Amino acid sequence: MALNRKGQASVTDAMYFLIIISGLATLMFFYTANYGSLVTTQTVKQYNTEFATSALKTILYSSTARDNLSLNESEEIDYLLAVLKEDYAIIEKNGSRLKDSTKTSLKNNIETVMSPFQRNFDYLYYIYSLKKSEEDERLLEEFVIIFLYSGLSVEDEDSPGGRNILRIGSFCTSNESLDSIRVNFVRHVGEVSRAPELSVFLPDYTDPKNPRNVRALSSLLMWPSTDIKEALQASNLNCPELQNLTLN
């Protein structure tokens, strides 16, 4: 009897030992698997953030021709940021802060810089001014430029499921604040890699008797390609070229 009880106790102890070891082994397996996925995710996000930061600086300080020729042919080359500042200084007759030629140069520069990621990622570039009212020091915030490269889901008989996402670069306008982009837009596009905002000072000569510098923030956001419809509605972004895709 004593031997039987000792034998049963030994078997019970062995079973408990096996259960504990199995549980620990399972926990270690899931921890190792999740740790690898977490490290990969963080590494990719960090790489994308570093790329966005470098791309932002490259866009701001890239070269552009002032005579509408190619860089190889032009005899007058300057920083794109310098041209942007000159345009911002005086409002165009149509109310725009930037000339069409400057927008074209900016679009070409952005798409060239972002070309390594453009196949699988969408992105948004903006300059947001923090102009102060001369009367009561209130902030008269506004977007100087918003450039969005993304897509919308449209009907396509040749694609699986009868739909396809067409992607295009479009200049956008918004009467909302920058927080609308930071919150309402971002939460509808998924995992976003964002370049830290850079301060840019823009000359303002709308009042020739009182010229001043206006502080502005510039940044670049990028995320895996997706249908942008909900994000546009949530943030009240108006992107004519992109939204017209659904009408064609």
The closest alpha carbon to 123, from 192, 177, 47, belongs to 192
The closest alpha carbon to 145, from 168, 121, 170, belongs to 170
pLDDT value, residue 248: 47
Q: What is the pLDDT of residues 94-114, one digit of tens each?
A: 567 788 888 888 898 899 999
Is the confidence at residue 215, as pLDDT, over 60? yes
Instruction: Determine contact, residues 215/142, Cβ cutoff 8 Å.
Output: no
Q: Where are the domains of the chain?
A: 46-247
pLDDT value, residue 35: 57
**How far, in Å, CA of 200 to CA of 148, rounded?**
20
The closest alpha carbon to 188, from 123, 124, 232, 150, belongs to 232
Query: What is residue 215's three-state secondary structure?
Result: strand
pTM: 0.76
Is the confidence at residue 4, as pLDDT, over 60? no
